[in-house]
Amino acid sequence: MMRLCLLFLIFITLPAAAQLYQWTDEDGRTHYSDKPPPGQQVEAPGASSVPAKREPQPMPAESQPANLDNVTYSRPAYSEAFYLRHLLRTGQYDQLNRELEFRQQAVERDNTQDIALRSVYSTFASAENKMLNEINRWVNATPDNYQPYLARARCRGVRGWAERGGAYAHRTPRDNFSRMQREFAFAHDDLKKALAINPRALMAFVIQISLAQPIADRVAANRALQEANRMYPDNYIVRRAYIRLLVPRWGGSWNEIETFVSRQPLDTSANPKLKQLAGFEDYERGLEHYRSKDYDLAIESFNKSLTTGPNSATLYQRGRAHYWLRKYRLAIDDFNGAIHLQPDIDYFHYWRAKAFYYFGSYSNALADIERAYALNSADEDTTEFREKIFRNYNHPELSDADNNLARQMVEKEVAKYDEQNQFKQSLAYLVLGENESAEAVLRRLTQLKPENMKYARWLDFALFRQARLSDIVAFWDGVIARYPDNAVAYSERAGTYYHLEQYYRALDSARMAEKLGDPEAPEFVQRLVALTTRPEPRLASQ
pLDDT value of residue 56: 55
The segment with the largest mean pLDDT, out of 40-54, 186-200, 415-429, is: 186-200
Task: Please report, rounded to a whole number, the percentage of residues in the chain having pLDDT higher than 70.
Answer: 85
Q: Which of 97, 94, 5 is nearest to 43 (CA)?
A: 5
CA atoms in the 13 A half-sphere facing the CB of 412: 19
| pLDDT attached to residue 36 | 41
Q: Which pLDDT score, from 0 to 100, does residue 67 have?
A: 60
Q: For 459-486, what is the HEC assignment?
A: HHHHHHHCCCHHHHHHHHHHHHHHCCCC
Instruction: For residue 539, give the 3-state DSSP assignment.
Output: coil
Q: Count CB-CB contacts under 10 A for residue 484.
A: 11
CATH architecture of 80-225: Alpha Horseshoe (1.25)
φ and ψ at residue 32, rounded to 5 degrees: -125, 140
Residue 213 dihedral angles phi and psi, to the nearest 5°: -60, -50
Encode pLDDT of 79-130 as tens digits: 999 999 999 999 999 999 999 999 999 999 999 999 999 999 999 999 999 9
Lowest mean pLDDT among 35-39, 69-73, 381-385, 389-393: 35-39
pLDDT for the residue numbered 38: 39
% of the chain residues with pLDDT over 90 = 74
The reported pLDDT for the residue numbered 44 is 33
Reported as a single tens digit per residue, the pLDDT across 273-287 is 999 999 999 999 999
pLDDT tier at 536 (50, 70, 90 boundaries)? low
CB 341 within 8 A of CB 315: yes
pLDDT at 400: 86
The pLDDT tens digits for 231-251 are: 999 999 999 999 999 999 888
Q: How far apart are CA 173 and CA 395, in angstroms?
A: 48
Task: Write the single-letter amino acid at 175.
Answer: D
- Output the pTM of the full model: 0.82
pLDDT surpasses 80 at 335: yes
Domain boundaries, the chain: 80-225
Neighbours of 442 (CB within 10 A): 26
- Mean pLDDT over residues 503-519, rounded? 95
Report the distance separating Cα 86 and Cα 3, nearest Å.
25
Which residues, 6 or more positions from 308, have their beta carbon under 8 angstroms from its beta carbon?
A: 275, 276, 277, 278, 279
CA–CA distance, 63 with 60 (Å, rounded to integer):
7
- pLDDT tens for residues 25-65? 433 433 333 334 434 433 333 333 333 344 555 444 444 44
Per the CB < 8 A criterion, the answer to whether 117 and 66 are in contact is no
Please provide the DSSP assignment of 71-84 as one string: ---------HHHHH
